[in-house]
Structure 1
Amino acid sequence: MPTILYLVHGMGCGSADGSPAPAGQRWSDSVVDAVNWITDTYRLPRATVLDPVPSTPPAGSDNANAIWVVPVSYHATFDDFRRGATDRKAKVNALGIASLVDAYVTELTDTDFAWVNCMDVLLWWADTVQARTMATASILATITRADDLARQMPGANIRRLLVSHSLGNAATTYSLRHLGTNAVWAQTGGFEFWATLANVAPFLMPTADVYSPPLLPGQTGTLVRQMCNVYHEADPIPWLMPWRPWRAENAGASWKDAWKLQSVIGNLRTFQTLGVAAPPGRTPDIMNVHGFANYLMSAEVSQALAGALRGASFDTQELAQLNVPAAWQQLPQLTCTKTQTALADLKRAKDVYVQNCPTPPGDPVLATAGWLERLLRAVGLLLEAKGKCS
């Protein structure tokens, strides 16, 4: 009975020139390290990484406690766009996006960081014919390939868990809605657990696509049984539009009460994390306030995910014996040598960033304009913090 943990990356997992990442520097490397830390810390079996998904189940998969980790990549379509772009501005202008003023184009193309990170978001949002379609196909292909592999095992009772990060939340939400139209998937029970980390889906998609079935947790025939939404106290990315962050109250008149009920029942939880650490053997960066691995290893997310992996929550006595806070403190911790208050300064800057964005008139649930400008400003805050820290 394999438990499959799907990990879907966010923005910035490709490269400025579109070339593949060298060994040891792929987006999934640090995230898998974080998962290994979780399984070790919570005394769970070590996971088997399926990247790529093989043609036959790996050895030991028939064990009732077997865990498969499946990194889900979709950044190749964005890398294709950047590959061979000798004139970045011309390449962006050729997209023909009416709202993309010259100032935005300059910010998107002047630094490799914005060119890799912000362009991913823009392409997924704007190029619905090619980039979004290819990303969706890539995500669904990996998920179904691993699922089909598990079905090769006689009597397999598959458990599925899902963790998506940043832009990956929008890409995953879009993909799950496609799965929801498949009657076979609706009958499988879908995903027992879905963690959305630094969720930007509400800024890039209509409200109905973000909150309506088949994504509503705890319902018969939907694809998600339990869900948690997580943001870091110093991460500005989940607050591109402070009037419509991901939360049950923003689900719209049709679905708001149903989402709020799942929150009361306990099938929907919201966490705020803090602190910056890196998996063992790696070095933390202040920009990891938005990092996938840092989110995963936080006390709140690691406990929820570990409980989902073993199929039962940890009680108070078990948590006391595990002493996860002490284990987290043993991880490589962020140290800012230039300005020791850099993380606290980033937290304050993020709070100002949120407060200085007034709610638009009319129905704020429907207002989505301005996310790109806010994204560029948020990335600027992270880069400024990096300059102050190291």
Structure 2
Amino acid sequence: MLFEKIVRPALYRLGKNDPETVHERTVRVLGRLGTVPPALAALRRYYGTDDPATVFGLRFPNRVGLAAGMDKDGRALAAWPALGFGFVEVGTVTKLAQPGNPRPRLYHLPDSEAVINRMGFNNSGADALAERLATQGKPPVPLGVSIGKSKAAALEDAVGDYQASLRALYPHADYFAVNVSSPNTAGLRALQDRSALTDLLAELQRTSGALAADAGREPTPLLVKVAPDLSDEALGELLEVCDEHGVAGLIATNTTLARDGLAGTDAHLGKEVGGLSGRPLANRAREVVRFVHSHTGGKLPVIGVGGILGAHDARLMLDAGASLVQLYTGFALNGPGLVRTVARGIAAP
């Protein structure tokens, strides 16, 4: 297709192979593409896959979603479904607009089919995303919004910070992902501890219930995104808290601080600070999904993400217990052809 053969190589040339520049240019191009209905229709005919599934009360046209981080501010919402995604997760967004960590902060590890990032929740803020969604509308597939803690907010103020994002975006999201697992915001992973997570989820569920009642509808599903670096004991405690507070599902997993599985000339980049994603994360992500599925008796839906670079990887994730899968690094490295390959490769016969 045109994107893989012409557009994507041109973006890499213009970006001088700087991964973040390529990322920014890609989202910008896709944002413009979203304003051209004939182009969207042509892409949808080629990339689209019909494999419907209903998970935590939402109907998905297929089981392959775009993970948070690719389109933090929702700038290309019309394009992602046309490229074959069955759902889209934007963010991670924070109450306050913030630039994120200093650049360079994104590294491509080609021999390992991996990426290291320390972006630090760079985004324009929850209010800006809410305004864009109110003006431009939602995509024609389920929309998830990943919310996180503003860097400027102290841990003791985290609950109010998350609540502000939830309130601002509540009219627009089909589900919320509570991101307490990014390694790139200092102290954030402490919110996965039992006491902190209990306080956070209790208040977010209370706020969600009140907002839903005011709107005369059912509460929007809340999901929790977990780190792959938790021990089984810590993950078991987290699942108990999620059960106590009616969490609708889990996203497993975020990026890892581990550096296992780096290949070839990538070893020197392994020293860079940040979260590792891609092929080296695949086994651990599936282990976490399998643990959650087993520990909850399959009653808690899981979105599996981490190291999915082909249909076989996605099938293994579903076999481990995931109900849906998300792509990020695989899409960034291989383009939208991967979405088509994965979605059709796991489609029900």
Same fold (TM over 0.5): no
Give the TM-score normalised by structure 2: 0.37
More strand by share: 2
Q: Which has the larger radius of gyration?
A: 1
Give the TM-score normalised by structure 1: 0.34
